[in-house]
Homo-oligomer: A and B are copies of this chain.
Amino acid sequence: MTRTKGERTRERIIEAAAPLFNQRGFVGASMADLMAATGLEKGGIYRHFKSKDDLALAAFDYSLTLHRAKIRGQVECHTGAVNRLTFLAEAMAGVAGTPAVPGGCPLLNTAVETDAADTESYVALRKRTRAGMRNLIRYAQGIIEAGAESGELRADVDAATEAAMIVATMEGAMMLSRLYDDRSYAKNAAKRVAAHAAQLARRTSPSRKQK
């Protein structure tokens, strides 16, 4: 389906706004910044978006969609729960150095910016962030559950908690890597997650071990 000129302009505005919001935050990205990045006047932007909130939400969705596609792409060319968790952690570590949109993980950025959620704009953005983070945690949880079902992982694994802890560790490490501009924090965290995932695997049964 051919997009109209208006739709193409709308997409171009989102693509230009996304790195600004992801780097500077919702409040930090000013209307002047947005005008400079898009090359449009205020009126030109407002012809396509009701408000700055409206543009911020579209930009957040865009950043999140790109990051999600990149991460899932890196995970889904592997099979097995331990492998997939390992590559999920590595893909998240990659966001610290080469994010799909400049500024790092959009979920981490908006989670921290909107957690007080004391304005209407923040409430709307936090709602999206909660949903996006939940998707990420459930994605990890699904890998673990599939592994428990197939017998690769221990049957008694607490998939929801394990998944949340993987996400917490990787997001915290990404924060350190970005703060110090040093990828080793995220890389070390990915190694930890991989080692922990291996521990969730069922022990080889004694009969097989003895061959």
Chain A residues with CB under 8 Å of chain B are 23-25, 27-28, 102-104, 108-109, 111-113, 115-116, 118, 126, 129-130, 133, 161, 164-165, 167-173, 175-176, 178-180, 185, 188-189, 192
Further pairs besides A23-B116, A111-B176, A115-B175: 13, Cβ < 8 Å: A27-B28, A103-B116, A109-B112, A111-B175, A112-B113, A112-B178, A129-B179, A130-B179, A165-B169, A165-B192, A168-B169, A169-B169, A172-B173
Which chain B residue shows the least CB distance to A115?
B178
A28 to B115, CA, bound (A): 13
- The answer to whether B113 touches A113, judged by C-beta atoms less than 8 angstroms apart, is yes
A126–chain B nearest beta-carbon distance, Å: 7
Q: Which of B112, B126, B129 is A108 in contact with, Cβ under 8 Å?
A: B112
A118 to B29, CA, bound (A): 12
List chain B residues, Cβ under 8 A from A175: 108, 111-112, 115, 168, 171-172, 175
Sample of 7 A–B contacts (CB below 8 Å): A23-B118, A24-B27, A28-B113, A108-B112, A112-B112, A115-B178, A165-B188
Complex copy number for this chain: 2
- The answer to whether B173 touches A168, judged by C-beta atoms less than 8 angstroms apart, is yes
List chain B residues, Cβ under 8 A from A172: 167-173, 175
A23 to B112, CA, bound (A): 9
List chain B residues, Cβ under 8 A from A168: 169, 172-173, 175-176, 185, 189
A116 to B129, CA, bound (A): 20
List chain B residues, Cβ under 8 A from A170: 172
A154 to B37, CA, bound (A): 54
Q: Which of B25, B133, B169, B185 is A25 in contact with, Cβ under 8 Å?
A: B25
Q: Which of B113, B118, B167, B179 is A176 in contact with, Cβ under 8 Å?
A: B167
- The answer to whether A164 touches B185, judged by C-beta atoms less than 8 angstroms apart, is yes
A168 to B104, CA, bound (A): 16
A180 to B173, CA, bound (A): 20
